[in-house]
């Protein structure tokens, strides 16, 4: 088995580090996607003194896991994600640790675990490595028989979905069909409890795409793509500072639908995704926990895409648990990118859980557009700069848990979002799409969302149901969605969903541009028919 794992590991290192360019998915945001976890109450976890950081990290150096509770615990129970199970040494605990959803909130447990690990060794340093890393024992030899019985774990996850999308202009049999499948394969090496190396490669194949096929914008679609999702090394320095270096998943912020403070990911999270398909980011992250005062400090060097020293970026995040409230401050800067400053606040307020997440950025060199877009009269928007402006984004929400039996609750949530950088005129959306500046759920100025979640109702402990509503209030357009999820055969999660779209704008975008000779990219024109409904089925199998 170990030889097989080693061979597979060597094969994985030949994976390309970047995937082919993604074709633009359905612009209505609902295509072939389901709800990515149900936000539940955070107050329980906070009352127990467990920081509930939103940062994603696949595992920690110290493996003793805290009990899951509150909002994070509910998401984990429903979708197999978040902090590792108490029995992390077992297969289930390891898989949940590695594949517990990109919204994993296990950095909370990580802070407490990292701090607890600091008192594990009482012996004085005896060699050079001990002096550097603070251990009372010499580093274990590769051939030392006292090392972990199985220092290398091999596993994976298969995520397959099918989706159908229809509109008012096509018959049912001519509805759009898609069938993408992702397979993630990981190698997890833990020679001891203070060092960990992790590799995760991804193979994606869309059975509904043929080689050379193009989308409505003329982009070539690739049926098969290979990518490196994660490749990182984790260790501690004197059991005080915990370092994770390499491509790794990360998420900051408290919002349910919107995350202004998720500043290290280039792509915004899709809040309606069954599974977050975003790849990891090349970072060196330093984590300093101070459990006694409920404090976590993260210092990050952003090396993603950097080829020169002056292209390296930096970020700092401080999370502080005050009584039952969690306050977080975020700052990030990088050459040619705007400076970002952010604040998160989440706390219980009577029977409600409330959260606020705000961010301002300055020095944004991105393109902004104004003016009319009318191909018939050859009127095109003009570009202008907002580099000297401070552009705020703020999201705020609340959630109420209503107990309807001794053990069961229904969760009701609302969230609003203001985006100063967004547009109030939806007529510019086709132009944004053409220029590559279309950012789903971040194009408009005002948004709103709500949900009703019914996790594990009655004796259906392996099932969950969610109704969601999203709206671009600047259009206005609306998306409503119903999701159901059930776990069968221990390792297999099945999801089914249906969506409907209303209005004319971002969430139900229709574009028809006639051929425009002499305008690059518009010589043949393009057409995008607005969707009316979407339905899908997905399966996630942990191996």
- Domain boundary assignment for the chain: 2-120+151-542
Provide mean pLDDT across the span 27-32.
41
Report the pLDDT value the prediction gives residue 74, as an integer from 0 to 100: 41
| pLDDT above 70 coverage of the chain, percent | 71
- Asked if 302 and 314 count as a contact pair (C-beta separation under 8 A), the reply is yes
What residues does 352 pair with on adjacent strands?
349, 400
Q: Among all chains, which residue has been given the structure tokens 């609750």?
A: 409
Q: What is the mean pLDDT of residues 4-20?
A: 41
Comparing 102-111, 192-201, 281-290, 505-514, the range with the smallest average pLDDT is: 102-111
Q: Calculate mean pLDDT across residues 498-506.
A: 94
Q: How confident is the model at residue 217 (pLDDT cuts 50, 70, 90)?
A: low
Strand partners, 413: 399, 451
For residues 217 and 349, the model is more confident at 349
In this prediction, residue 126 carries a pLDDT of 44
- What's the average model confidence in pLDDT over 276-292? 96
Judge whether residue 60 has pLDDT over 50.
no
Residue 37 has pLDDT above 70, yes or no: no
Q: Cα-Cα-Cα-Cα dihedral of 109, 110, 116, 117, to 10°?
A: 150
CA distance 353 to 379: 48
Place 214 in a pLDDT band, splitting at 50, 70 and 90. Answer: confident
Q: In the structure, what pLDDT confidence band is assigned to residue 81 with cuts at 50, 70 and 90? A: very low
pLDDT per position as a tens digit, 434-490: 888 999 999 999 999 999 999 999 999 999 999 999 999 999 999 999 999 999 999
Residue 221: pLDDT band (50, 70, 90) is confident
Confidence of residue 121 (pLDDT cuts 50, 70, 90): very low
Q: Which residue has the tokens 């330093």?
A: 286
Alpha-carbon dihedral angle through residues 12, 15, 17, 19, given to the nearest 10 degrees: -130
Q: What is the mean pLDDT of residues 251-259?
A: 95
Looking at the chain, the whole-number percentage of residues with pLDDT higher than 90 is 58
Question: For residues 124 and 530, which has the higher predicted lDDT (pLDDT)?
Answer: 530
Better pLDDT: 518 or 486: 486
| pLDDT of residue 96 exceeding 50 | no
Which residues lie closer than 8 Å to 14 by C-beta, 6 or more apart? Answer: none
Report the pLDDT value the prediction gives residue 386, as an integer from 0 to 100.
96
Comparing 131 with 185, the larger pLDDT belongs to 185
pLDDT at res. 16:
40
Q: What is the mean pLDDT of the chain?
A: 79
The tens digit of pLDDT for each residue in 133-173 reads: 444 444 444 444 445 578 999 999 999 999 999 887 777 77
Predicted confidence at residue 367, as pLDDT, reads: 92
pLDDT at 529: 84
CATH architecture label of 2-120+151-542: Beta Barrel (2.40)
Percent helix / strand / coil, the chain, rounded to 5: 15, 40, 45
Of 356-370, 420-434, 447-461, where does mean pLDDT reach its minimum? Answer: 420-434
What is the per-residue pLDDT across 380-391, written as a single tens digit (0 to 9) for each?
899 999 999 999
**Residues 6+ away with beta carbon under 8 Å from 121:** 134, 135, 136, 137, 239
Q: Which helix (H) or strand (E) holds 276?
A: none
Strands 325-333 and 313-322: antiparallel
pLDDT band at 18 (very low <50, low <70, confident <90, very high): very low
- Categorize the per-residue pLDDT at 271 as very low, low, confident or very high, splitting at 50, 70 and 90: very high
Q: 374 Cβ partners below 8 Å, 6+ apart?
A: none
Tens digits of residue pLDDT in 331-359: 999 999 999 999 999 999 999 999 999 99
Please check the confidence at residue 533 and state whether its pLDDT lies above 90: yes
Least confident of 47-56, 422-431, 457-466, 502-511: 47-56
β-bridge mates for residue 162, sequence order: 537
User: How confident is the model over 65-72, as a mean pLDDT?
Assistant: 39
- The region of weakest confidence among 31-40, 233-242, 361-370, 403-412 is 31-40
Q: How far apart are CA 129 and CA 312, in angstroms?
A: 29
Q: Has residue 369 got a pLDDT over 90?
A: yes
């Amino acid at each position: 088995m170990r030889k097989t794992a080693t061979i597979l590991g060597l094969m994985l290192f030949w994976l390309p580090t970047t995937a082919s360019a993604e074709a633009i998915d359905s612009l209505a945001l609902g295509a072939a996607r389901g709800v990515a976890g149900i936000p539940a109450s955070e107050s329980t976890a906070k009352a127990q003194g467990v920081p509930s950081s939103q940062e994603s990290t696949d595992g920690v150096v110290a493996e003793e896991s805290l009990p899951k509770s509150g909002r994070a615990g509910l998401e984990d129970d429903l979708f197999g994600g978040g902090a590792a199970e108490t029995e992390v040494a077992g297969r289930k605990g390891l898989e949940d640790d590695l594949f517990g959803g990109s919204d994993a909130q296990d950095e909370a447990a990580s802070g407490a675990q990292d701090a607890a690990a600091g008192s594990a060794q009482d012996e004085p340093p005896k060699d050079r490595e001990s002096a550097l890393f603070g251990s009372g024992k010499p580093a274990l030899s590769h051939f030392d028989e006292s090392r972990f019985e199985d220092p290398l774990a091999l596993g994976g996850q298969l995520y397959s979905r099918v989706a159908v999308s229809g509109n008012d202009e096509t018959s049912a049999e001519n509805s759009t069909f898609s069938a993408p499948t992702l397979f993630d394969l990981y190698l997890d090496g833990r020679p001891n409890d203070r060092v960990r190396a992790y590799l995760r490669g991804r193979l994606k194949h869309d059975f509904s795409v043929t080689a050379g096929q193009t989308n409505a914008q003329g982009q070539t679609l690739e049926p098969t793509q290979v990518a490196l999702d994660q490749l990182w090394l984790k260790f501690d320095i004197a059991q005080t500072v915990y370092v994770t270096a390499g491509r790794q998943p990360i998420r900051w912020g408290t919002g349910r639908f919107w995350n202004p403070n998720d500043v290290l990911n280039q792509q915004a999270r899709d809040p309606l995704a069954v599974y977050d398909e975003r790849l990891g980011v090349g970072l060196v992250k330093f984590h300093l926990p101070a459990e006694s005062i409920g404090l976590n400090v993260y210092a990050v060097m952003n090396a993603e895409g950097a080829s020169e020293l002056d292209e390296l970026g930096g970020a700092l995040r401080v999370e502080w648990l005050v009584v039952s409230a969690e306050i977080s401050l975020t700052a990030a800067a990088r050459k040619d990118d705007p400076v970002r400053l952010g604040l998160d606040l989440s706390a219980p307020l009577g029977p409600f859980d409330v959260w606020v997440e705000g961010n301002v950025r300055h020095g944004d060199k991105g393109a902004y557009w104004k003016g009319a877009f009318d191909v018939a009269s050859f009127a095109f928007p003009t570009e202008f700069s907002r580099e000297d402006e401070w552009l705020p984004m703020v999201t705020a929400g609340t959630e109420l848990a209503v107990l309807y039996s001794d053990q069961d609750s229904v969760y009701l949530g609302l969230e609003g979002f203001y985006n100063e950088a967004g547009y109030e005129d939806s007529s510019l959306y086709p132009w944004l799409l053409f220029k590559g500046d279309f950012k789903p759920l971040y194009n408009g100025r005002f948004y709103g969302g709500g949900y009703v979640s019914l996790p594990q109702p009655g004796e259906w402990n392996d099932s969950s149901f969610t109704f969601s509503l999203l709206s671009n209030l600047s259009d206005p357009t609306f998306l409503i969605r119903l999701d159901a999820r059930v776990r069968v055969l221990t390792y297999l999660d099945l999801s089914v969903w249906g969506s409907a779209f209303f209005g004319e704008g971002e969430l139900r975008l229709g574009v028809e541009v006639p051929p425009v000779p002499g305008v690059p990219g518009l010589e043949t024109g393009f057409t995008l028919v607005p969707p009316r409904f979407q339905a899908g089925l997905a399966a996630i199998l942990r191996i």
